[in-house]
Amino acid sequence: MEQAMDTAGGDEAEAGEMMAEPQQTEPATHSVLMQLREMIVTGKIAPDSKLRAEALASLLNVSRTPIRSALAVLSAEGLVNYSVNRGYTVRTVTIGDVFDSISVRSLLEGMAARSAVDLGWEPGALSRAISVVEQGRATLDKGQWSEQIEYEWYDLNRQFHLSILIAARNEVLRNSLRMTLIYPILGDAARLCPSIAASVPLRHRQLPSTPPDHVLESQAEHEAVLDAFCREDADEAQRLMSSHVLATRHRLKAIVIPR
């Protein structure tokens, strides 16, 4: 790992993935982009680390071309900085950045939900969204929780949100939303996002043995949004989706220790 970046400070920490990728991204670049983004948002690549294309290509066993393309996307997203003298370096993501991104995302995902109703779902698309939500409920109804189950539920969560974004059929909205997703979604940000975890008490970062309250609430909110889709209520779908996204911000702000 040290060969891939020059670290200016901070320790390596710990998983995530973006919900919406650039639609024109080549498969190799897409894969590299996801890997690099995960390593950055989970702290595996520390803030202020210098990212060198040749070393990263060796680390990920790819050519330098997808590395350069991925770094350009990450620069546009604000996860890395670029300067002529230093090249690409990892930007420090603050708690404020995460909270701001959630606030903006709540508006964008609300718009996506409204558009999905206004435009109408493609044949089979709503049925697939229903199936994803039902799988989420079945997962929670087992009453068990672990890192693997958390990962599986958050993957279903990602699929549900992505299905709405696809149904909105708005590339500008899709690209704008991609810019706001700077923390992991395949797990609890309170544990997996270093900029948040550092300010969250240990008791809120421990993995329970049963589904946590915030996940149960999130599942119920998915079901309420889905009901609005089935009733073709655009106003309610927009309101519920915006509120659903903001719930994460409210929860995180409530458990973060003021500094």
- CATH number (domain holding residue 173): 1.20.120.530
Domains in the chain, number = 2
pLDDT at residue 37 greater than cutoff 90:
no
Q: What is the mean pLDDT of the chain?
A: 88
Q: What is the pLDDT of residues 188-197, one digit of tens each?
A: 999 988 889 9
Same domain, residue pair 84 and 99: no
Which residue, of 45, 69, 90, is where some domain finishes?
Answer: 90
pLDDT at residue 184 greater than cutoff 70:
no
Same domain, residue pair 232 and 125: yes
In terms of pLDDT, which residue wins out, 25 or 198?
198
Which domain does 25 fall in, by range? 5-90
Which residue, of 90, 111, 127, is where some domain finishes?
Answer: 90
Q: How large is the average pLDDT for residues 193-222? A: 95
Cα gap 107→241, rounded to integer Å: 9
Which residue, of 39, 60, 90, is where some domain finishes?
Answer: 90
pTM of the model: 0.81
Q: Which of 16-30, 63-77, 100-114 has the highest mean pLDDT?
A: 100-114
Q: How large is the average pLDDT for residues 140-165? A: 96
Same domain, residue pair 109 and 166: yes
pLDDT at residue 77 greater than cutoff 90:
no
Give the end-to-end CA distance of the chain in Å, rounded to a whole number. Answer: 32
Same domain, residue pair 173 and 150: yes
Same domain, residue pair 199 and 236: yes
Q: How large is the average pLDDT for residues 213-233? A: 98
Same domain, residue pair 80 and 111: no
In terms of pLDDT, which residue wins out, 117 or 93?
117
pLDDT at residue 22 greater than cutoff 80:
no
Neighbours of 129 (CB within 10 A): 25
